[in-house]
Amino acid sequence: MNEQTLLALIERVENGTATDEELGVYNAWCNSFQRTGEPVPDFETVRAEMLQRINAQIGHKPVRRLRYRIAAAAAVLLLLISGGIYLYMQPSGQLMADKSPSAVPVTDKAVLTLADGTTITLGEAAEGELATQSGAKITKHKDNQLSYESVSEGKDSDLAYNTLRMPRGEKYRVTLPDGSQVWLNASSSLRFPTSFTGGERVVELSGEAYFEIAAQPSRPFKVKTGQMEVQVLGTKFNIMAYPDEPEIKSTLVQGGVRLYAESGEVVLKPGQQGLFNGRQAGFRVKQVNAADVMAWKNGFFVFNDEDMAVIMRAIERWYDVDIVLTPGVANKKFGAVISQRKDIASVLKALELTGSIHFKIEGRKITVAQQ
């Protein structure tokens, strides 16, 4: 495998477009650290070490002496990639990608509610124009995409709102009238006008969505989540505001955003996440891997040392199951990279292989207990 091919593979793992087998390699690398109790180093550090090893192997320059564990992990990752080794689970609790046949999770139908109350079940609607409302043409495209195109200049008095609702197990991408794009996650809803008029662009979100906002400096874009508000001019960011989550999480990928609440406000920089729980004053801000946060958009769950309760809530939303956690299970920590193409039986089987938990399945009810 040449240098260019290897670096391209590393990029795919980092940005969430890797295949299941490539994810298996990544997870194996994570395990090489978890088994020793050491934190996983940042990907840029390991990338630099691997580049040096490649260059040394082809005679460009010697390998610089970096921290031994990082160098060893880079060597292991190179060996796994070149040898095509595909792992499933390690005792450390880091979930491997399953090699069983992929299966699509249970999917209900997404529903679009028009301003007059008319509902359109998108899974049953044909591709093409769905309706025209208040100066906007609504079109359904393939691959769960919807677009709004302004065909006439709307007035404030003509402002009409549509609502796009996702059931468990389905996602949709919508292009708003201003050209902004929104990826709406499972069990989420977005309320938005069919045309943006006036001095600002405002939408309302419940659940999770990733936004790429068309820059219009004279008209800021706002996302309202009930307890807080995000204001941007032109940027890329992710908001998770599910009602059953203890915190609203806003993650900035590119540009700049300002988070507002009655108790305070904060401006985020790229790679930062603002957390708001409504009970404490102001926001908490932490540095995160934005690619991990938005992995759901590319068909993956990525969990880094998360409570089992957090992982199970995400699985509930995607697989349309109801999960019961017995005492002592909710706070167990796991790291996982899970393809959303996997059937739930494969996911649960992989988790059970840690030896610390057991699943009891009764129809759509799943009980999680300590092993």
Segment 274-279 shows an average pLDDT of 87
pLDDT at 101: 33
Q: Give percent of the chain with pLDDT exceeding 70.
A: 68
**pLDDT at residue number 34:** 46
Q: Give CA–CA dist 69/112, Å, rounded.
A: 52
In this predicted structure, which of 9-18, 34-43, 166-175 has the lowest mean pLDDT? 34-43
What does the pLDDT read at residue 87? 27
Q: Which fold has domain 111-292?
A: Jelly Rolls (2.60.120)
Name the token pair of 70: 């990082």
> Residue 359: which residues within 8 A CB-CB, separation 6 or more?
348, 351, 352, 366, 367, 368, 369
Given a contact cutoff of 8 angstroms between Cβ atoms, the answer to whether 225 and 206 are in contact is yes
Tell me how far apart the alpha carbons of residues 284 and 272 are, in angstroms, rounded to a whole number. Answer: 10
Q: Which of 285, 271, 268 is nearest to 230 (CA)?
A: 268
Q: What is the mean pLDDT of residues 149-165?
A: 78
pLDDT tens sequence across 80-104: 343 332 222 333 333 333 333 333 4
Report d(CA 335, CA 92) in Å as an integer.
9
β-pairing verdict for 333-339 and 94-95 = parallel
The mean pLDDT value for 57-81 works out to 43
Q: Which single residue is written with the structure tokens 């609702």?
A: 165
What residue segments make up the domains of the chain, in order of their start?
Answer: 3-87, 111-292, 299-370
User: pLDDT at position 186, please?
Assistant: 96
pLDDT given at position 69: 44
Q: Given pLDDT bands bounded at 50, 70 and 90, which one contains residue 230?
A: very high
**287-307 as b/e, with b when 16 or more CB fall inside 10 Å?**
ebbbbbbbbbbbebbbbbebb
5: pLDDT strictly greater than 60: no
Give the DSSP letter string of 14-45: HHT---HHHHHHHHHHHHHHHTTTPPPPPHHH
Is it the case that residue 196 has pLDDT exceeding 50? yes
- How far apart are alpha carbons 28 and 337 in whole angstroms? 11
Instruction: Name the helix (H) or strand (E) containing 172.
Output: strand 172-175
Q: Which residue, 204, 203, 200, 170, is CA-closest to 185?
A: 170
- 47 burial (CB, 10 Å; 0-12 / 13-18 / 19+) is middle
CB-neighbour burial class of residue 42 (10 A; exposed 0-12, middle 13-18, buried 19+): exposed
Judge whether residue 236 has pLDDT over 90: yes
pLDDT tens sequence across 104-119: 444 468 999 999 999 9
Q: Mean of the pLDDT values across residues 287-311?
A: 88
User: What separation in angstroms does the CA of 281 have from each of 14, 69, 135, 230, 264?
Assistant: 34, 41, 42, 17, 7
Check whether 48 has a pLDDT greater than 70. Answer: no
Q: CATH: 3.30.390.50, 1.10.3720.10, 1.10.1530.10, 3.55.50.30. Which one for 299-370?
A: 3.55.50.30
For residue 196, report the phi and psi dihedrals to the nearest 5 degrees.
-95, 120
